Chains A and B, each alone.
Chain A
Amino acid sequence: MDLRSDPVLERIAGTVRDGLGAAGAGPDGSATLAALADLDGFAFAASMELGGFDLGLSCGVTIAVELGRRALPDVYTGGMLVADALAEAADDAPGADVAAAVVAGKQVVVAAGLDRATVGDAAPAEPSPGGWRLPEVLTVDDVYPDAAVCTAFRTGDGEVLLAVLPATLWRPLARPAFPWSGHAPSPAAVAPGEIPSGQVIGSLGAGRPLTDPAGLLARHRVRQAGYLLGLGLGAHALAVAHAAGRRQFDRYVLDNQAVAFPLAKAKIDLEAARLLVHRAAWLADAGGPFAREAAEALAWTAEVTLRTVRTSVQVHGARGLTVAAPVHRFFEVVRPAATRLGPPGALWRESALRRLAEYHTAVAERQS
């Protein structure tokens, strides 16, 4: 292992960071979409068949980190899930038009239903003449007005399928949960109604943990972990900057160990997160198994980022709760992001089953 950072990815991170820095973050992600599209950001990690540059999941993670770092609405990961599912699809395959639009930076996709369908106990969808009828409403992040939804659902025989629903096939039911701040991407319930079978674009397999034959779920988890990592890094940087400038008791707030140590601990946990996330992405790009690493990268990053954001808000004092302090955005955004693909506890249980199986298999092999 040689873990010095990769200069190509560093350059991409810098380019994306600069590009996004110029974008004003709006409530609906339009500015973020435009800035990322301007850089061809949606093409970097997508397959050549879809018009992408095929730079791999490590590159996708790098982009997701940069979005999170500014608490920008996640206009990226849902689209990449669709692009992954259709990486090698023919032009006329179901959903191929959506995937192509995603890669061209013209279509935002938000993922939905992955928590209940992948680690929870979602009721199966009912077969209907044209496809399936979902038994429950979905929760999606309201990041873009005409977003398509990529939803996972469980069928009667236990398989979990992925379908893509253009904006015409779903409608919002609820208002944003944080109307007061006016610019946070927030969850909304949507009623997809019927899912036409022509909209199904892939399978996440069956069983527990899901077999995920094409690694679609694992890849999506790693990107999500990247977004969360960015959120943690961004909130942390704000807290350090605030504490290094704010004076109380005739000294900088950061000069107190009771303030500095939780921030140092968060820094260490985030550094571990960075390595876990990039390891999972690297394994995926190298073609190795990475399902456990992906689940762990996500669970670790979700927990660490929640803690870091909480610490960062605390370090800001009362200002941190106001719209004037940018850290408040991280507080809003991290909650849905931390559980969008299932609560960390469920991911840890999944990883434990894999670890115990790996451990006992290795012991048995050594003994035979």
Chain B
Amino acid sequence: MNFGESDAERGLRAEVREVLRTPPVRGALDDLARAMAAGEREPDVRPLYRAIAAHRLFAASWPEEYGGRGVSHLEAAAVIEELVRGGMPDMLQVLSVQIVGLFLLEAGSPAQRARYLPALASGELFATVLYTEPEVGSDLASLRATAVRDGDGYRLSGTKVFGLKSGMSDIGLCAVRTGTGVTKYEGISLFLVDLHADGVTRGTIASLADEQYDRVELDGVRVGADALLGAEGEGWSLLTRCLAIERTGLDYSLKAARWYDATLSGLAADTADDALLEEVGRYGAAVDAARLLAWNSISQLGRGPLDPTSAAIAKYHTSETAQQVAYWAALVHGHGYGLRGLAPDKAAVLEAGYREGPGLTLSAGTSEMMLELVASSGFDRPDVIGGAGDGPQI
């Protein structure tokens, strides 16, 4: 294990800080801050993303031919950490690059990669994930949306809900049923759908959080055979791999750190009582552990498929911790976050965090599903130091 920073990571972090100071990026960040101060809950982040993408920092781990820099997943994670710390809202980047893009990179055909990846890396195209349906949540394999053959292509129909950023996105990674098999896990296929195509209707579903949910109706949407990802009917194994990629926990760990720091900004050692100090320590360690668990799963990326148990552990701890920190902050800082003289911008961060908190332990797999995954893996990871080994013989 190496808990330090490599020279390459350090160099990239310094470069990101430099890029954040360049006029186009600074300007886009300022525009964003103004929009949020004016009460806009979900301002358009695309101009900011494009300004950052111009430096090939948006999808840094991708090969150069696809608009990346070919750096390791760990170095790319350092870039993202630094961008988020510098004020970049990451949701659309997570969806477009860290989930859909990475999935395409792993499972897409050469033609699909060539068509989409450079455009995703440059911020020309954005992508979203269309899995959940009104009747289908945790039990995703029961999905009902369909794709039926239509000449040399398919027609997709169904309703997808609770996606994020579909309104700002151009393509959707969509799970549908192309057939039935002995079990519900057979006959599932994945498609890349053009969200500007005929038959696609997008709407929003208001939610507690600043980010609104989307509803995407697919009404006989025509796609070519080249929109199919992997083999027809064999999408489930691809899906489980993709779901693990969603669960490195990096994004949640960054939220936990941001909300924890905002909470601390209003606290002083000499006015905190013993009970509060204990919580400062305990939550601080949980936030640190969140970062370590996220980096632990990222350390495995690119060296074979991400171990789903490791990812589930990271997802569970990072999201639960971020949520708990947001709730804790509400109690510590009291009514209107005014008990201890928190600066208004920090209070706004914590208030938004409180409303975002409940979604963290549901999105990308609920906490209960993560516990299921950890439990069903048999708990055993003899491969790591401190893993279960063969148990104590005493």
Interface residues of A (CB under 8 A from B): 1-6, 9-10, 13, 17, 21, 25, 58, 62, 65, 69-72, 229-230, 233-234, 236-238, 240-241, 244, 254, 257, 260-261, 263-265, 267-279, 282-283, 286, 293, 295-296, 299-300, 326, 329, 345, 347-353, 355-357, 359-360, 363
Query: Given A3-B296, A272-B317, are A70 and B375 also a contact pair (CB < 8 Å)?
Result: no
Of chain A, the residue at the smallest CB distance from B285 is A296
Query: Given A300-B285, A352-B269, are A240 and B3 also a contact pair (CB < 8 Å)?
Result: no
B 32-48 binary contact with A (CB < 8 Å = 1; else 0): 00000000000000000
Of B5, B278, B370, which is in contact with the most chain A CB atoms at under 10 Å from its CB? Answer: B278
Beta-carbon contact of B392 and A70 below 8 Å = yes
Tell me, in angstroms, the Cα distance from A360 to B276 when the chains sit together: 17
Partner of B392, one of A71, A270, A276: A71
Tell me, in angstroms, the Cα distance from A349 to B275 when the chains sit together: 8
Q: Does B393 sit within 8 A of A, measured CB to CB?
A: yes
Residues of B contacting A3 in the complex (Cβ-Cβ under 8 angstroms): 1-3, 292, 295-296, 299
Beta-carbon contact of A349 and B379 below 8 Å = no
Beta-carbon contact of A229 and B386 below 8 Å = yes
Beta-carbon contact of B392 and A359 below 8 Å = no
Residues of A contacting B267 in the complex (Cβ-Cβ under 8 angstroms): 356
Partner of A62, one of B280, B313, B385: B385
Beta-carbon contact of A237 and B299 below 8 Å = no
Which 6 pairs, one residue from A and one from B, show the smallest C-beta to C-beta distance?
A: A348-B281, A237-B391, A352-B280, A272-B289, A351-B281, A260-B375
Query: Given A254-B375, A260-B375, are A275 and B269 also a contact pair (CB < 8 Å)?
Result: no
B 258-292 binary contact with A (CB < 8 Å = 1; else 0): 00010011011100101011111110111011001
Beta-carbon contact of B2 and A1 below 8 Å = yes
Beta-carbon contact of A10 and B385 below 8 Å = yes
Query: Given A2-B2, A65-B385, are A238 and B392 also a contact pair (CB < 8 Å)?
Result: yes
Q: Does B371 sit within 8 A of A, measured CB to CB?
A: yes
Partner of A267, one of B268, B274, B379: B379
Tell me, in angstroms, the Cα distance from A356 to B271 when the chains sit together: 11
Tell me, in angstroms, the Cα distance from A261 to B367 when the chains sit together: 10
User: Can you list 6 A-B contacts (CB < 8 A)?
Assistant: A1-B4, A70-B394, A257-B375, A261-B375, A272-B292, A345-B274
Beta-carbon contact of A348 and B277 below 8 Å = yes
Quote the shortest CB–CB distance from A38 to chain B (angstroms). Answer: 17
Tell me, in angstroms, the Cα distance from A345 to B9 when the chains sit together: 36
Quote the shortest CB–CB distance from B385 to chain A (angstroms). Answer: 5
Q: Does B74 sit within 8 A of A, measured CB to CB?
A: yes
Interface residues of B (CB under 8 A from A): 1-6, 9, 74, 261, 264-265, 267-269, 272, 274, 276-282, 284-286, 288-289, 292-293, 295-296, 299-300, 303, 313, 316-317, 368, 370-372, 374-375, 378-380, 383-389, 391-394
Beta-carbon contact of A265 and B388 below 8 Å = no
Partner of A271, one of B74, B274, B282, B293: B293
Partner of A275, one of B261, B274, B284, B289: B289
Quote the shortest CB–CB distance from A236 to chain B (angstroms). Answer: 7
Partner of A296, one of B288, B316, B372, B384: B288
Query: Given A2-B299, A5-B383, A296-B288, are A349 and B281 also a contact pair (CB < 8 Å)?
Result: yes
Query: Given A234-B391, A238-B391, are A350 and B374 also a contact pair (CB < 8 Å)?
Result: no
Residues of B contacting A13 in the complex (Cβ-Cβ under 8 angstroms): 385-386
Residues of A contacting B387 in the complex (Cβ-Cβ under 8 angstroms): 233
Beta-carbon contact of A71 and B4 below 8 Å = no
Query: Given A233-B386, A352-B284, A356-B272, are A5 and B1 also a contact pair (CB < 8 Å)?
Result: yes
Beta-carbon contact of B379 and A236 below 8 Å = yes
Residues of A contacting B299 in the complex (Cβ-Cβ under 8 angstroms): 1-4
Tell me, in angstroms, the Cα distance from A70 to B393 when the chains sit together: 7
Residues of B contacting A261 in the complex (Cβ-Cβ under 8 angstroms): 368, 371, 375
Beta-carbon contact of A241 and B391 below 8 Å = yes
Beta-carbon contact of B3 and A352 below 8 Å = no
Tell me, in angstroms, the Cα distance from A277 to B280 when the chains sit together: 19
Partner of A329, one of B300, B374, B388, B394: B394
Beta-carbon contact of B278 and A349 below 8 Å = yes
Tell me, in angstroms, the Cα distance from A72 to B392 when the chains sit together: 10
Residues of A contacting B74 in the complex (Cβ-Cβ under 8 angstroms): 1-2
Beta-carbon contact of B313 and A65 below 8 Å = no
Residues of A contacting B385 in the complex (Cβ-Cβ under 8 angstroms): 5-6, 9-10, 13, 62, 65, 274, 278
Tell me, in angstroms, the Cα distance from A244 to B371 when the chains sit together: 16
**A279-B288, A300-B285, A349-B278 given. 15 additional CB < 8 A pairs?**
A4-B1, A4-B299, A5-B383, A5-B384, A65-B385, A233-B389, A234-B394, A264-B374, A267-B379, A272-B293, A293-B288, A299-B285, A356-B264, A356-B269, A356-B280
